[in-house]
Amino acid sequence: MLVIVAPGQGAQSPGFLTPWLEDPTFASRLDWLATVAGIDLAHYGTVADADTIRDTKIAQPLLVATGLVAALDLFPHPADAFARIGAVAGHSVGELTAASGARVITAEQAMVLVRERGNAMAAAAATTATGMTAVLGGERDEVLAVIERHGLTAANDNGPGQIVAAGTMEQLAAFADDPPAKARLMPLSVAGAFHTTHMGPAVDRLASLARSVSTHDPRTPLISNRDGQVIHDGRDVLRRMVGQIANPVRWDLCMETMSDLGVTGILEMPPAGTLTGIAKRALKGVETFALKTPDQLDAARDFCDLHGEASQIETTPTWRMIVSPAKGTFHLSSEAIEHDILTPGATIGAVASLRDRTDITAPHGGSVVEWLVEDGDLVSPGQPLLRLHPEGNA
């Protein structure tokens, strides 16, 4: 199984777009997205220095646009992508790239949202002196306990030995004086405490905009940063991306879901390297491909051919298909048993695991055509559970 991932802020480096822009088609497509966002992305991706592109207002649109245009180079015909990709995921702002690639939102909607996301997060960061510090190594439970003791938030949980603490500069200074045992602290050059409550004003701004954004259910299973669940409701994908601005990124749980799905290959969109590096440490035996420059495209396509297979969502009609968000045991609800027609939002059951229990709803409702699982069945992330027909359709 092939999983495509999109990196988050911090993956950019000076001049990384230079070789890509030698292709006139790439340059034209980037110019279109730059026009939508109102930012000279070609300039920032070629001649701007590291301090300039570190700015949240610039870095976020630059990353999303690069990933979206590179995806069209990798898969010139989108149908080829859907026939190969088992799942997609994006780290932090990379989730916008993944959502657009999965056809939840359009590229143009993604660029407007990422522009406003970057502006709003930069404004929120300017109100209080905050920052982030990477914690490398140490015992996980102790690292989390010390982070909590200092009033900080574990804003990014990226897997074994890599957690990012975030909060005020005073809290981070105290943390540096009293670090977890056997851990190395590395202050990050970021504008603020992203994915914490300090970003609350940015959530309010994006939530207001999101009410006017039309969505579609993903064509490919999308793994959510919030809890690693596979999401197949477009509105829920959008809600989660908005809320994620002020909540921790659980990339560790995303990788756990990739493992549950049976991933054999992970390809990271440019500017690549960060997420494949994490995967090499956390997902032993899984092959990775970091797509950094256009001269790697043929090799990247070979990698996709080697690992690619259509997801269960793609090989089964996706509209009115209810899928499992996680691995666990499926428990059928009495409401679903008693009715042949389900109202929008009706609970069809729940998936229970050792970690939690997640209710499953039918967001669109419809007539029950076929149950694909039974009460008590073990299910995997993204597995179809129920097929529905819209009411009034033959």
Q: Which residues are catalytic?
A: 92, 195
Burial classification of residue 394, based on how many CB atoms lie within 10 Å of its CB (0-12 exposed, 13-18 middle, 19 or more buried): exposed
Is cis: bond before 384, omega within 30 of 0? no
Query: d(Cα 92, Cα 168) in Å, to the nearest integer?
Result: 20
Is the Cβ–Cβ distance between 7 and 292 less than 8 Å? no
Is the Cβ–Cβ distance between 10 and 92 less than 8 Å? no
Q: What is the dihedral of CA 125, 130, 136, 137, to 10 degrees?
A: -120
The continuous run of DSSP H or E covering 371 comes out as strand 366-371
Alpha-carbon distance values, 237 to 16, 221, 224, 283, 298 (Å): 29, 11, 8, 25, 31
Query: d(Cα 229, Cα 207) in Å, to the nearest integer?
Result: 21
Residue whose C-alpha is closest to residue 74's, from 66, 14, 273: 66
Radius of gyration of the chain (CA): 21
Is the Cβ–Cβ distance between 351 and 357 less than 8 Å? yes
328-332: strand order across its sheet = 357-362, 346-352, 328-332, 378-379
End-to-end CA distance of the chain: 35
DSSP 323: E
Residue whose C-alpha is closest to residue 96's, from 73, 67, 120: 67
Residue whose C-alpha is closest to residue 348's, from 333, 331, 328, 365: 333
| Pair of tokens at residue 152 | 């900080």
Is the Cβ–Cβ distance between 89 and 104 less than 8 Å? no
The full length of the chain comes to 394
Residue where the block lists tokens 């990226």: 158
| Pair of tokens at residue 206 | 């994006």
Residue where the block lists tokens 């996980």: 140
